Amino acid sequence: MADYYTPQKGQTNNKWNKTHYERLNLFVPEGMNERIEAAAQAQGFPSKRAFCIAAIETAIQKTKPE
C-alpha cells in the first residue's frame, strides 16, 4: 500500500517536527549548493542535510576544550 499524504498526516508530522527539531536556514553563495551535493555523495552521505550536520559536529568537536 502506498503512503499517501493527508492533511492529518501533515499536521501530525509538523507537530512532531516542532517538538523534536529546530530550524536553521542557510543561504550559500551561488554554486555552493552543487559543491555540497557532490561532496555529500562522494563521501557516502544519504543527503546534504546529513553531510552538513556531520560537518558541523566535526567543527564543534574541534573547538571543545580538553
Provide the b/e sequence for 31-62 (b: ≥16 CB within 10 Å).
eeeeebeeebeeeebeeeeebbeeeeeeeeee
Residue 54: domain span: 29-66
pLDDT of the residue at 4 = 82
Is 39 part of a structural domain of the chain? yes
pLDDT of the residue at 62 = 93
Per-residue pLDDT of the chain (66 residues; tens, 9 = 90+): 567 889 999 999 999 999 999 999 999 999 999 999 999 999 999 999 999 999 999 999 999 876
Is 51 part of a structural domain of the chain? yes
Is 38 part of a structural domain of the chain? yes
> What's the number of domains the chain is made of?
1
The structure's pTM equals 0.73
Cell of 9: 498526516
DSSP class per residue in 36-59:
HHHHHHHTT-SSHHHHHHHHHHHH
